[in-house]
Amino acid sequence: MIVVGAGLIGLTLGRELHQRGFRVLIFDRGEAGRDASWAGAGVLAGMLTSNPALRPLALAGAKLYPVWAADLERETYLSVGYRRSGTIIMGGEPQADWEPVDAQALEPEVRTPAGAQAWLLRDDHSVDNRAVVRALVASVRARGVELREHTPVEAIEVGASAAVVVAGGERTAATVVINAAGAWAGGIPAPFDIPVRPRKGQMLRLKTPLRLQRVVEAPGVYLVPREGGRILVGATVEDVGFNREVDLNVITELRQRAEALVPALVGAEMEECWSGLRPCAPDELPIIGPTSAAGYWVATAHYRDGILLAPLTAKIVTNALREGRLTQALDLKPFLPRRFERVG
């Protein structure tokens, strides 16, 4: 098996395929896990997904996560910063399982915006996505998965009996090639066009003596606690192509929203600000499964939920490749590549 792209999707998939007995080679054009998967916030928002069509997948992904994360930690002896402390949401349309709360009773430094009701999603969780990347790289290396970094894939071809990846002046054949190249997946010449586009997100990290226990979401901003007094402040969603520039005016605006929500953050040191490109399909749903070109598969377009959906995506693809059909109990039709097949 060849996996193109070593983001969270490609790495998780490579590890799962190897665990289930496949020989795996992963290509990345740069350092593994340093694109969207490094830039994300690590909120595992199973209950919060904005797109109703994604909800069954998001809930299944969230259910799988704790066991998957514990297994990765056990294997690598590396923490992935998994937290199950819940999410507080300010305002918004409540869903059945949202519980009304006094936000300040739970997080004394948080100020609820005037007129807004606060809700608690008790079971929502988060992870340190950069720590997950590190653990996955350690895992695949220790297992003997071949990870070829700094080797961009220039083309994917399919022949009668094998798929071929052209990279670094070499042609490498495999029974199946899976394109997991994130926002760049559609730019690799291949026998099936993947209509994936980048959606930029900018965010920042503050260091503060303040201890926040839970993820807090309010209109236009969210806060994600990390170890060591760090708080992530996110995030924009911008349709600006492959432009990755960090705009300090935008960062300042995010910071001001964070300070309005938690005034104790005024004066906190900003350690880092950055941007990343989320892979997004025209219908904003993931693209997972085989294409019409035999041996060519896709696992991308996870948009705002790729950290959450990586373990589930890996299981779906690996089960399908092991058993020759998509066997998940979930209805996967809305996510299959063939929905973008041109007819005629």
Ligand X SMILES: Cc1cc2nc3c(=O)[nH]c(=O)nc-3n(C[C@H](O)[C@H](O)[C@H](O)COP(=O)(O)OP(=O)(O)OC[C@H]3O[C@@H](n4cnc5c(N)ncnc54)[C@H](O)[C@@H]3O)c2cc1C
- Applying CB under 6 A, the span of 15-23, 28-36, 87-95, 105-113 interacting with ligand X comes to 28-36
**Number of chain positions touching ligand X (CB under 6 A):** 42
State yes or no: residue 148 binds ligand X (CB under 6 A): no
Residue 9 contacts ligand X per CB under 6 A? yes
Identified binder of ligand X from the candidate list 3, 24, 43, 140, rule CB under 6 A: 43
Site for ligand X in 284-343 (CB under 6 A): 300, 302-308
* 66 belongs to the binding site for ligand X (CB under 6 A): no
If one asks whether residue 250 binds ligand X (CB under 6 A), the answer comes out as no
Query: Is residue 203 part of the contact set for ligand X (CB under 6 A)?
Result: yes
- Measured CA to CA, the distance from residue 63 to residue 289 in angstroms comes to 21
The yes or no reply on residue 46 touching ligand X (CB under 6 A) is no
**Residue 80 to residues 45, 168, 270, 271, 278: CA-CA distances in angstroms?**
17, 33, 23, 20, 21
What minimum distance in Å lies between the beta carbon of 169 and ligand X? Answer: 14
List, in order, residues 6 or more apart from 161 with CB less than 8 Å away.
Answer: none
**In the block, residue with structure tokens 């039709």:** 333
Does residue number 27 form part of the binding site for ligand X (CB under 6 A)? yes
Q: How far is residue 66's CA from residue 81's CA, in Å, rounded to a whole number?
A: 11
CA atoms within 13 A on the CB side of 198: 17
Strand partners, 225: 231
Figure out which of the listed residues 65, 184, 192, 335 binds ligand X, where binding follows CB under 6 A. 184
Indicate which single residue of 28, 124, 128, 217 sits in contact with ligand X (rule: CB under 6 A).
Answer: 28
> Among 32-40, 88-96, 103-111, 319-327, which window interacts with ligand X (CB under 6 A)?
32-40
163 near ligand X, judged by CB under 6 A? no
Residues 150, 129: contact at Cβ < 8 Å? no
Amino acid, single-letter form, for residue 278: R
Using the rule CB under 6 A, give the single segment among 1-9, 46-54, 115-123, 259-267 that binds ligand X: 1-9
Full strand arrangement of the beta sheet holding 153-158: 153-158, 163-167, 170-174
| Site for ligand X contains 5 (CB under 6 A) | yes
DSSP 3-state assignment of 67?
helix
Q: Smallest distance from the beta carbon of 275 to ligand X, in angstroms?
A: 7
Q: How many CB atoms sit inside 10 A of residue 115's CB?
A: 6
Q: How far is the CB of 282 from ligand X (least distance, A)?
A: 16
Say how far apart CA 10 and CA 28 lie, in whole Å: 9
Residue 102 C-beta: closest distance to ligand X, Å: 25
State the sign of the Cα–Cα–Cα–Cα dihedral 47, 53, 56, 61: negative
Name the site residues for ligand X (rule: CB under 6 A): 4-10, 27-30, 35-37, 39-43, 152-153, 180-184, 188, 201, 203, 234-235, 276, 278-279, 300, 302-308
